[in-house]
Chain A
Amino acid sequence: MRRTAGVYIHIPFCARKCGYCDFNAYSGYKEATKTRYVEALCREIESRAEPQTRVPTIFFGGGTPTELAASDLVRILQTVKATFCVDADAEITTEANPGDADPGYLADLRAGGGFNRLSFGVQTFDDRLLRSLDRLHSGNDARAAVQAAKAAGFANISLDLMFALPRQTMADWDRSLDTAFALDVPHLSMYALIIEEGTPFFARRERGRLPLTSEKTEAAMFARAMQRAVEAGYERYEVSNYARPGFQSRHNRIYWRNEEYFGFGAGAASYLGGARTMNERRPSRYIETVTTGGNLFVSEERLSPREAMGETMMMGLRMTEGVDLDAFARRFGVRAEETFAKEIARLSDGGFIEVAEGHLRLTERGLFVGSEVMLAFLP
């Protein structure tokens, strides 16, 4: 049977790495290394070619994909198109740094390359907060970037916003939301800051040097975002994602439905045939391994049916629509309502989940404590 899979492309370069970021991203690589990386990335894609596999979505993430020349991004995209059966109407996204978004660059991506969706890492429009996050762009850069993207012909634009930032007040958050809504883009991702282990922010928090947002304020900001986004005509379709009708991220829905995807590039993760694999993380070693034809996977995990069920629940519950119970039964040969009868009973009694329209989903109460709900389904 022909398989269908999303494609993720990782570009691990950043002009500067942000203090909260725990992604596989590096600053300070020379142009020559970036060129060799693009070469290696194209070779990896070609070496894993599956001309029969249907690809409905392609997503360039990072790092900062726009650290590369537009021509490099287009070349990589062409390589995917040459080696996989990419749908004619495929969703093709790249993340972009607002500071890099000049009209010529964006035109090269859109008209010249076939990219049709942009995701800007705006985070906030407040310059003071942007500096505290180590971002190099300004609030005005972000506004300009959106205008430039529209001018270049991008209709499908998403902005990333963050809340629960150190020293961010509710008034600050409201102003960010005002500006974002005024820019009139069809998609927003609004994340609470996560302080991940191993980041400079984590170290600062450990030393007591990072003002923390209380759980109460974070919850209030989350609630405010939800309420105001709905008033502005967006629908919340995932824990942190909002879209106008027809503009949900098709690529990300592949993850949340626990479907298959290829990941190309340093540290990229793939989920194919029930196995999760991850590529060599460091760009230099990635390049060397691809060049010498070595084994690129640094980890490979073949999931048991029980683990795959747990992940399907964990990811599916992130979506507002929830887990499709018939699809679950078709996939695993057992019904979630039976396998998880005890957990479902306890959590429904508490008012955290509900079964409706053939889906098991979080209630609003459950959404706020989603992690507690999700872990009930893990082995």
Chain B
Amino acid sequence: MPVPQDKIRNFCIIAHVDHGKSTLADRLLETTNTVEKRDMQEQLLDQMDIERERGITIKMAAVRMPYTADDGSVYELNLIDTPGHVDFTYEVSRSLNACEGALLVVDAAQGVEAQTLANANLAMNSNLEIIPVINKIDLPAADPDRVAEEIENVLAIDATEAIRASAKEGIGIKEILEAVVRKVPPPQGDPEKPLRALVFDSHYDAFLGVVAYIRIVDGSVKPGDQIRLIATGKTFTVDGVGVFTPRMKAVDALYTGETGYLHAAVKSVTDCRVGDTVTLAGRAGQSVEQLPGYKPAKPMVFCGLYPIDSNEFPDLREALSKMQLNDAALSYEAESSAALGFGFRCGFLGLLHMEIVQERLEREFNLSLLATAPSVVYKVHKTDGTVIDVDNPANMPAPTLIEHIEEPFVDATIIVPTDYVGAVMDMGRDRRGIFGRMEYPAPGRVMMHYELPLSEIIMDFFDQLKSRTKGYASFDYELSGYKTSSLVKLDIQINSETVDSLSFITHRDKSFQRGKALVEKLKELLPRQMFEIKLQAAIGGKIIAAERLSAMRKNVISKCYGGDITRKRKLLEKQKEGKKRMKQFGSVEIPQEAFMSVLKISE
């Protein structure tokens, strides 16, 4: 029997990283006896190892919790987890759309941070009922009154009824559950209408195919139903539906207002994308309108991935295709480089997404990869009037063919203690930022708004920001669009030959300085070779910086007698192996670090 629609509550938790979202989720599962305390793996909602290692949530889960409230009724609470990183803003917005309410968790000592703001804005845009929770009140540095004031000032949310809690100590959990029941509205939607459901996430299961996480907006769905995904137009037969408890548990049907999953032998997540709408196939679903807000995932950051051992190229292709089954945001296309051989140009939502994919390829598929420096997508207006997208600096047309170049910009929000305003201003200037405005959410804290080129933040911006502000800064951004910039392609030449995979795009005013810094860095990174090497930076054939790496002066084992032969041979064989792991460019061996150094050179 379906739970009455007015007893269903769909909600999520939004928070800045480290403000205690996962701990709170664990506590809710325990308190509602959804999961026994002894079965509780630490922070159960984070499924993947990498997520747990990095302390962030990438994949969402939606857990059903039965809860008997103070009014005596049994409610079905569905907790929908959201990823906590800017790369996944679109996914966050979809999962928010599956909810009617959100717990806004703010650390009682840290206060409102950049991601708090970004996520709260998303939640307000989705018209969610927001319940502020001031967490970690047990900390000695906790100042819940000040934080309540910040929530009101910065977010314009009434914080007078903010729940003061400590998920770690179990304080305020009951109040939170009661607030969810009382404040979050029950789902609307018409059970008599044909099926209309939102896909807010999915994962790929080797046996079931794609498992789509859905929120039923209208109607219901059960095994055997013929369904159609409106955006992709694909039709399938439902094999099973169920709920997360948090483990997957099959049910007879999912009804209006509920969240759960369905599987229908869908072979790839690209056929069942996040944000798509599920309805019934055939006449029944013909007039059903797509839910608003669907966007196919669009990669923003690109890099070349090359197997160190060129024999592993087919393995890399296989691994990428398997990864894509579970990650619709990952794109890849074969490319070749004179310096690196055959590989793939891969597109990612952002830097974190890129790092995670690389790590998983190496860890789960046992590949040894060389990654080129990441690049954004440039819009190049050519003199012939055409506009092309360039995601690989090596493909930038010659300067004479370019009319102008546009690059992607972001709107960035940085929150820091007032002492660090100068440090942030310096960084903003270094990174070609356009200062917007400054706000003072609370005494001693400043919120700064910048417009920044995406290319300036894709490598080490956040690390630098953290180190220049002693770790106090929080940072968030969203894409704002394209702008014309004065950009040039900088080429690196080794012994007068351009190494295509070391080329990068930079602002004209910084090109000189960066070219110089890079050849200096390469001089440090490249092992001495048997010949002298000439390292040069060039723009359109004009050399702007040069260094010489002198030849190795002496490298010969001084002593080798009868007892040493095996060991010395193995030593040389090991050195030879090491060389094989470097990329051979002409007679020069280039180690992996060289390729990443392009964007990491300090300014």
Q: Among A271, A278, A374, which residue has its beta carbon within 8 angstroms of that of B572?
A: A374
Question: Are the C-beta atoms of B562 and A375 separated by less than 8 Å?
Answer: no
Known pairs A271-B562, A314-B568; A375 contacts B573 (CB<8 A): yes
Q: Separation in Å of the A102 CB from the closest CB of chain B?
A: 27
Q: Separation in Å of the B564 CB from the closest CB of chain A?
A: 8
Q: Which A residues from 310 to 338 make CB contacts under 8 A with B?
A: 310-311, 314-315, 318
Question: Are the C-beta atoms of B560 and A255 separated by less than 8 Å?
Answer: yes
Question: Are the C-beta atoms of A369 and B552 separated by less than 8 Å?
Answer: yes
Chain B residues whose C-beta falls within 8 Å of the C-beta of A24 in the assembled complex: 563
Distance, CA A24 to CA B552, complexed state (A): 32
Q: Separation in Å of the B178 CB from the closest CB of chain A?
A: 60
Task: Say yes or no: is A185 at the interface (Cβ < 8 Å to chain B).
Answer: no
Question: Are the C-beta atoms of A350 and B557 separated by less than 8 Å?
Answer: no
Q: Which A residues from 212 to 236 make CB contacts under 8 A with B?
A: 215-216, 218-219, 222
Kindly name the residue among A222, A276, A314 whose own CB sees the greatest number of chain B CB atoms within 10 A: A314
Known pairs A314-B569, A379-B573; A194 contacts B554 (CB<8 A): no
Chain A residues whose C-beta falls within 8 Å of the C-beta of B557 in the assembled complex: 194, 239, 370-371
Known pairs A311-B569, A350-B531, A375-B576; A367 contacts B561 (CB<8 A): no
Q: Which A residues from 250 to 276 make CB contacts under 8 A with B?
A: 252, 254-255, 261, 263, 267-269, 271, 276
Q: Which B residues from 535 to 574 make CB contacts under 8 A with A?
A: 551-563, 565-566, 568-569, 572-573
Chain A residues whose C-beta falls within 8 Å of the C-beta of B553 in the assembled complex: 215-216, 218-219, 368
Task: Say yes or no: is A201 at the interface (Cβ < 8 Å to chain B).
Answer: no
Task: Say yes or no: is A240 at the interface (Cβ < 8 Å to chain B).
Answer: yes
Q: Among A301, A367, A379, which residue has its beta carbon within 8 angstroms of that of B566?
A: A301
Chain A residues whose C-beta falls within 8 Å of the C-beta of B530 in the assembled complex: 350, 352, 369, 372
Chain A residues whose C-beta falls within 8 Å of the C-beta of B555 in the assembled complex: 368-372
Distance, CA A369 to CA B552, complexed state (A): 7
Distance, CA A249 to CA B188, complexed state (A): 97
Contact count band on B? 20 to 34
Task: Say yes or no: is A84 at the interface (Cβ < 8 Å to chain B).
Answer: no
Task: Say yes or no: is B287 at the interface (Cβ < 8 Å to chain A).
Answer: no
Residue of B with least CB distance to A352: B530
Question: Are the C-beta atoms of B565 and A369 separated by less than 8 Å?
Answer: no
Question: Are the C-beta atoms of A194 and B556 separated by less than 8 Å?
Answer: no
Question: Are the C-beta atoms of B559 and A269 separated by less than 8 Å?
Answer: no
Q: Which B residues from 152 to 193 make CB contacts under 8 A with A?
A: none
Q: Which A residues from 176 to 211 make CB contacts under 8 A with B?
A: 191-192, 194
Task: Say yes or no: is B575 at the interface (Cβ < 8 Å to chain A).
Answer: yes
Known pairs A255-B560, A314-B572, A374-B572; A222 contacts B565 (CB<8 A): no
Question: Are the C-beta atoms of A239 and B562 separated by less than 8 Å?
Answer: no
Distance, CA A371 to CA B579, complexed state (A): 13
Question: Are the C-beta atoms of A240 and B558 separated by less than 8 Å?
Answer: yes
Question: Are the C-beta atoms of B558 and A255 separated by less than 8 Å?
Answer: no
Task: Say yes or no: is A82 at the interface (Cβ < 8 Å to chain B).
Answer: no
Chain A residues whose C-beta falls within 8 Å of the C-beta of B566 in the assembled complex: 269, 276, 278, 299, 301
Residue of A with least CB distance to B576: A375
Q: Among B531, B551, B552, B558, which residue has its beta carbon within 8 angstroms of that of A239?
A: B558
Question: Are the C-beta atoms of B573 and A311 separated by less than 8 Å?
Answer: no
Question: Are the C-beta atoms of A311 and B565 separated by less than 8 Å?
Answer: yes
Question: Are the C-beta atoms of B565 and A269 separated by less than 8 Å?
Answer: yes
Q: Separation in Å of the B563 CB from the closest CB of chain A?
A: 4
Task: Say yes or no: is A286 at the interface (Cβ < 8 Å to chain B).
Answer: no
Chain A residues whose C-beta falls within 8 Å of the C-beta of B572 in the assembled complex: 314, 371, 374-375, 378
Distance, CA A307 to CA B566, complexed state (A): 10
Distance, CA A267 to CA B567, complexed state (A): 13
Residue of A with least CB distance to B575: A375
Q: Among B560, B562, B568, B575, which residue has its beta carbon within 8 angstroms of that of A8?
A: B562
Q: Separation in Å of the A164 CB from the closest CB of chain B?
A: 9
Q: Among A263, A310, A368, which residue has its beta carbon within 8 angstroms of that of B556?
A: A368
Distance, CA A350 to CA B530, complexed state (A): 9
Distance, CA A215 to CA B572, complexed state (A): 19
Q: Separation in Å of the B573 CB from the closest CB of chain A?
A: 5
Q: Separation in Å of the A306 CB from the closest CB of chain B?
A: 12
Distance, CA A350 to CA B586, complexed state (A): 13
Q: Among A219, A278, A314, which residue has its beta carbon within 8 angstroms of that of B554?
A: A219
Q: Separation in Å of the A12 CB from the closest CB of chain B?
A: 11
Q: Among A252, A255, A310, which residue has its beta carbon within 8 angstroms of that of B569?
A: A310
Residue of B with least CB distance to A218: B554
Q: Separation in Å of the B579 CB from the closest CB of chain A?
A: 8
Residue of B with least CB distance to A376: B576
Question: Are the C-beta atoms of B554 and A261 separated by less than 8 Å?
Answer: no
Residue of A with least CB distance to B579: A375
Q: Separation in Å of the A92 CB from the closest CB of chain B?
A: 16
Chain B residues whose C-beta falls within 8 Å of the C-beta of A372 in the assembled complex: 530, 552, 555
Distance, CA A225 to CA B575, complexed state (A): 27
Chain A residues whose C-beta falls within 8 Å of the C-beta of B531 in the assembled complex: 350
Q: Separation in Å of the B558 CB from the closest CB of chain A?
A: 4
Question: Are the C-beta atoms of B559 and A368 separated by less than 8 Å?
Answer: no
Chain B residues whose C-beta falls within 8 Å of the C-beta of A216 in the assembled complex: 553
Residue of A with least CB distance to B557: A371
Q: What 1/0 flags go to A271-307 for Cβ under 8 Å of B? A: 1000010100000000000000000000101000001
Question: Are the C-beta atoms of B554 and A368 separated by less than 8 Å?
Answer: yes
Chain B residues whose C-beta falls within 8 Å of the C-beta of A315 in the assembled complex: 560, 565
Residue of A with least CB distance to B561: A255
Distance, CA A218 to CA B552, complexed state (A): 12
Question: Are the C-beta atoms of B559 and A240 separated by less than 8 Å?
Answer: yes
Kindly name the residue among B558, B565, B566, B572 whose own CB sees the greatest number of chain A CB atoms within 10 A: B558
Q: Among A191, A192, A263, which residue has its beta carbon within 8 angstroms of that of B562?
A: A263
Question: Are the C-beta atoms of B554 and A269 separated by less than 8 Å?
Answer: no
Distance, CA A269 to CA B569, complexed state (A): 14
Question: Are the C-beta atoms of A222 and B554 separated by less than 8 Å?
Answer: yes
Distance, CA A215 to CA B575, complexed state (A): 18
Distance, CA A24 to CA B563, complexed state (A): 10
Chain B residues whose C-beta falls within 8 Å of the C-beta of A191 in the assembled complex: 558-559
Chain A residues whose C-beta falls within 8 Å of the C-beta of B565 in the assembled complex: 255, 269, 271, 276, 311, 314-315
Q: Separation in Å of the A138 CB from the closest CB of chain B?
A: 24
Chain B residues whose C-beta falls within 8 Å of the C-beta of A267 in the assembled complex: 563
Distance, CA A375 to CA B574, complexed state (A): 9
Q: Separation in Å of the A134 CB from the closest CB of chain B?
A: 18
Q: Among B556, B561, B563, which residue has its beta carbon within 8 angstroms of that of A369?
A: B556
Residue of A with least CB distance to B566: A276
Distance, CA A165 to CA B449, complexed state (A): 59
Distance, CA A222 to CA B557, complexed state (A): 12
Kindly name the residue among A10, A254, A372, A378 whose own CB sees the greatest number of chain B CB atoms within 10 A: A372
Kindly name the residue among B555, B556, B572 whose own CB sees the greatest number of chain A CB atoms within 10 A: B556
Kindly name the residue among A6, A254, A315, A352 whose own CB sees the greatest number of chain B CB atoms within 10 A: A315
Question: Are the C-beta atoms of B562 and A367 separated by less than 8 Å?
Answer: no
Distance, CA A347 to CA B557, complexed state (A): 18
Chain A residues whose C-beta falls within 8 Å of the C-beta of B576 in the assembled complex: 375-376, 378
Q: Separation in Å of the A353 CB from the closest CB of chain B?
A: 12
Residue of B with least CB distance to A162: B558
Q: Among A222, A240, A263, which residue has its beta carbon within 8 angstroms of that of B563?
A: A263
Q: Separation in Å of the A309 CB from the closest CB of chain B?
A: 12
Residue of B with least CB distance to A252: B561
Known: A240-B559, A371-B556. 15 other contacts (CB 8 A): A24-B563, A191-B559, A194-B558, A215-B553, A219-B554, A239-B556, A239-B560, A252-B561, A261-B562, A368-B553, A369-B554, A372-B530, A375-B575, A376-B576, A379-B573
Q: Can you list 24 pairs linking A and B with CB atoms under 8 Å apart?
A: A8-B563, A215-B552, A215-B553, A215-B554, A216-B553, A239-B556, A239-B560, A240-B558, A263-B562, A267-B563, A268-B563, A271-B562, A311-B569, A314-B569, A369-B551, A369-B554, A370-B557, A371-B557, A372-B552, A375-B572, A375-B575, A376-B576, A378-B569, A378-B573
Tell me the A residues contacting B by CB distance below 8 Å.
6, 8, 10, 23-24, 61, 191-192, 194, 215-216, 218-219, 222, 239-240, 252, 254-255, 261, 263, 267-269, 271, 276, 278, 299, 301, 307, 310-311, 314-315, 318, 350, 352, 367-372, 374-376, 378-379
Nearest first, the 3 A-B pairs at minimum CB distance are A370-B556, A219-B553, A219-B554
